[in-house]
Amino acid sequence: MTKKTRIIDLPEFDMARQLRSEEDIAAYVTMVIEDGDASELAHALGVAAKSRGMSEIAQAAGLTREALYKALRPDAHPRFDTINRVCTALGVRLVAQPIHL
């Protein structure tokens, strides 16, 4: 007889655990940007920062840990400068590409 797995017994999915390299982070952030939901960008960067360690990313971005958490919460609207500094600290950069319609 096979043992049934209950949904409640499954571990909670944590995207931060899947982001193991700069390539993973770049692919994840690019996917979020391509979806066109600007409010998700701050959250995605927060997930990526969590994968590397919030304190480490905050220090590399020149922010306090608390300011980083505040800037990257799901409903935040961080300044472009903050996004750029966090991307640099994560080892990725935002790139503009032409839209082919």
pLDDT score, position 1: 65
pLDDT score, position 66: 96
Q: What are phi and psi of 90, to 5 degrees?
A: -80, -10
CB 32 within 8 A of CB 40: yes
CB 35 within 8 A of CB 44: no
pLDDT score, position 97: 83
Mean pLDDT by 10 residues, the chain (101 residues): 80 87 94 86 94 96 96 89 96 87 63
Question: Can you give the length of the chain in residues?
Answer: 101
Q: What are phi and psi of 55, to 5 degrees?
A: -65, -45
The domain segmentation of the chain, as residue ranges, is 19-90
